[in-house]
A and B are shown apart, each in its own frame.
Chain A
Amino acid sequence: MSTSSTLSRRLPFQAHPVDEVGIKERVARLATRSIKKSSKVEGLKLALSMVDLTTLEGADTPGRVRQLCTKAVHLHSGRTDLPMVAAVCVYPTMVRVAREALKGTPIKVAAVATAFPSGMNPLTVKLEDTRYAVGEGAHEIDMVISRGDFLRGDYGRVADEIAEVKKACGEAHLKVILETGELGTLDRVRLASDIAMEAGADFIKTSTGKIQPAATPEVVLVMLQAISDFYRKTGRKIGMKPAGGIANAKAALNLLVMVREVLGPDWLNPDLFRIGASKLPNDILMQLEKERTGVYQGGDYFSND
């Protein structure tokens, strides 16, 4: 599909205006929730179970991916009370390695596709990229939207592309990355969320992790509200995945608070909420060990994979 039809170009997406000042206030208020003691420990474990443990480097090797998969299963030596992470997220060429390494575990393998991270390739290439990753065994596909088309106002084309990729996914679940750091305004974040959900996303995801800002609380809140509206309208529960820059336990707990108060407890599980991260688990582990032993341990007591 080289050009989008006039019809789809004019697809009517109802604007849901967002007030940035109001969003900031709500974010600030949610950040004042006090999460202590048992609710902190439970919350941190819950967050671990939602992590998409990620490595997306040009320098990734099969060995490195295998290491990461081991970490995904055994987060910290000597602790048996910890959950496994939800998924491991890799480039398409590493999917097979990850599937092998995770055999026999419930951990999913997610692959970034569609010319990640820029999306600057023709749709045919993007679809082939997707089919390849699915063929290698990916359970989940993390695609990027075409920000250029979106910012130009060609919403129909963005929607069509998502729908095509969804088809190419087959059984695999589709996460649609909006790359909010390139969208500029919260109004656009909201519109892109609506388009992605209408076009067939199973999850909407903030960022690739390659661009800053990434998963700011403001962006997450706007996307959660979009999911809430979509659910009310269609009865379909769409998942949410903030990714990029979520490096500490406090930020993770804050995300859980936002999900709980905006979407409700139904969304507080890895089927509907994921956190894309690479460094986050170690900070959470540090906090959990502190809660267990009463003292903080240095970074060298936690494995870096």
Chain B
Amino acid sequence: MTKTSTTIGSDWGYAPAPESADHFKLKDQYGLFIGGKFVPAASGKRLKTINPANEKVIAEVADGGEKDVAKAVQAARTAYDKVWRKMSGRERGKYLYRIARIIQERARELAVVESMDGGKPIRESRDVDIPLAAAHFFYHAGWGDKLRYAFPGKSVSPIGVAGQIIPWNFPLLMVAWKVAPALACGNTVVLKPAETTPLTALLFSEICQEAGLPEGVFNLITGAGSTGAALVNHPGLDKVAFTGSTEVGKAIQKSLAGRGTRLTLELGGKAAHIIFEDATIDQAVEGIINGIYFNQGHVCCAGSRLLVQESVEEEVVTKLKARMESLIVGDPLDKNTDIGAINSKAQWDRIRDYLKIGEEEGAELFQTKCSVPEKGYWIRPSFFTRVAQSHRIVQEEIFGPVLAIQTFRTLNEALEKANNTPYGLSGGVWTDKGAKIFKVTRGIRAGVIWANTFNKFDPTSPFGGYKESGYGREGGRHGLRPYVELS
């Protein structure tokens, strides 16, 4: 067609659209939350929490030690014995409903803080993390007075004091996953958030105060790995729940051996994401993007191993590249950002190591051409082709925006490759044929398998793994089981 007008559109783009952070004020310093009050660490030590997008210090938090842990566990025990276990389920539910509502009321603040502290794009913290956290409290609030119906024919009672350790990839959402079922079932909690992302857990402590939650029912100890170890090693716990790396999970299991403390572990993953030739390719490409580049790939159930049927490999890879180039990497607080900052320097180094390892192993690296800010920790969306099952980038969890692409010829070959991993947390399958979906989902040993979608979460749906991905389930009726005594 002849030119009808200027081509002014070719450089039309999006102006910066930053979410404002001036509608709330963070404190410079935060204490530990023990027995309903904020207190400094016994040692007086503090840690800095930084914004991974600009490396600036946001606030200082207390570095909890053994003494603090002991105090917190004592507070939780007292609250359990004197108040929480005796309270009717309906009353407990009332507090959980209140917490859910306050999370919704403070959603904007929580979303901004989540993005500042952890580097995730505001689009995700606003549309996924915070609404889901509230949903988990709403869901479990409803169970408070219905536990008898969750376990028909059984008498249900709480366990006691739960020590919970959560990771940095979904800070507030993991608080909700851990705390909501524990509290709904009548247990009290001592929680340790990740070293790099303590802020929303601290705001959550404020929310507990605001909701009038009885003192000591929820306690928060901030700190690093040693603080977590002190919590796990405290003899006063009846139950430990951990989400994090397989390595630390194994250490926790060792230290709990012979103690009679119950344990659930939600550990790493290396999910196979299988695309058949009869899939809806454009939507599958979207699923791949959502599977591995959601939250910078800091997702234990990320679809990090792509298995494409060889007849559509070229189409899928071409389309994937094109789609990846349209991803906007940058300021997590910009509403148009798709991919934010890598959570910490340590994780940034680790991912870059894996990129190097992949190339040394002979795989072919593709990275998008987008520009990234100078300050802060950034990795462009990446994938490897020409990879083999034996490569470390196929076997080990990278926990970053790095995908390994392999091909397969037959369904059985896909299943074999999918299962040939020490992990078993999640998986995905794309095909237009219903029967094939069932064949694949039955054939893969993983806790969650998504069909024609990926990374969908709901409080009613149990989540958890097999093999080195841990054991125990969170969410749904299954997620109540680790927090109740049945007789």
Contacts and interface: CB of A to CB of B under 8 A. Distances in A.
Given A17-B278, A17-B432, A266 B1 contact: no
A49 B8 contact: yes
A94 interface: no
Interface stretch (A28-36, A62-70, A162-170): A28-36
A95 to B, nearest CB: 17
Given A265-B10, A268-B12, A34 B17 contact: yes
A26 B283 contact: yes
B5 A36 contact: no
B117 to A, nearest CB: 22
Contacts of A22: 280, 282-283, 286-287, 452-453
B14 A34 contact: yes
B281 interface: yes
Given A26-B283, A108-B4, A269 B452 contact: no
Nearest to B19: A34
B349 interface: no
Contacts of B9: 46, 49, 256, 265, 268-269, 273
A86 B4 contact: yes
Nearest to B432: A17
A219 to B, nearest CB: 14
B349 to A, nearest CB: 31
A46 B12 contact: yes
Interface in B1-40: 1-15, 17
B242 to A, nearest CB: 32
Interface string B135-165: 0000000000000000000000000000000
B311 to A, nearest CB: 12
By CB atoms of chain A within 10 A, which of B14, B282, B452 has the most?
A: B282
A43 B127 contact: no
A18 B280 contact: yes
Contact of A86 (B5, B281, B282, B283): B5
B20 to A, nearest CB: 12
Nearest to B14: A39
A19 B280 contact: yes
Contacts of A228: 322
B340 to A, nearest CB: 15
Nearest to A268: B9
A118 B162 CA distance: 69
Interface residues of A, number: 48
A200 interface: no
A173 B1 contact: yes
A172 to B, nearest CB: 11
Contact of A271 (B1, B12, B280, B432): B1
A148 interface: no
B8 A42 contact: yes
A261 interface: yes
Interface in A57-104: 83-84, 86-87
A152 interface: no
A232 interface: yes
Interface string A136-166: 0000000000000000000000000000000
Contacts, number: 107
Nearest to A203: B1
A210 interface: no
Interface in A222-267: 225, 228, 232, 239, 256, 260-261, 264-266
A108 B4 CA distance: 8
A106 B4 contact: yes
B10 A269 contact: yes
Interface in B310-347: 318, 322, 326, 335-336
Contacts of A45: 8
A269 B5 CA distance: 8
Interface string B383-422: 0000000000000000000000000000000000000000
A269 B283 contact: no
A292 interface: no
B5 A260 contact: no
B123 interface: yes
Given A19-B452, A83-B5, A42 B286 contact: no
A16 B315 CA distance: 12
Contacts of A18: 280, 282-283
Contacts of A232: 318
Contact of A19 (B6, B283, B336): B283
A266 B5 contact: no
Contact of B5 (A34, A38, A106): A106
A25 interface: yes
A94 B322 CA distance: 43
Contacts of B452: 19, 21-22
A21 B287 CA distance: 12
A261 to B, nearest CB: 5
A181 interface: no
B15 A36 contact: yes
A33 B14 contact: yes
Interface in B354-388: none
A22 B323 CA distance: 15
B1 A202 contact: yes
Contacts of B286: 22, 25-26
Given A37-B15, A39-B12, A42-B12, A32 B4 contact: no
By CB atoms of chain A within 10 A, which of B280, B322, B432 has the most?
A: B280
A276 interface: no
Nearest to A173: B1
8 contacts: A19-B280, A22-B453, A23-B283, A33-B14, A87-B4, A108-B4, A225-B282, A264-B322
Given A106-B4, A256-B12, A268-B7, 8 more contacts: A17-B432, A38-B15, A43-B12, A46-B12, A49-B8, A87-B4, A239-B1, A268-B12
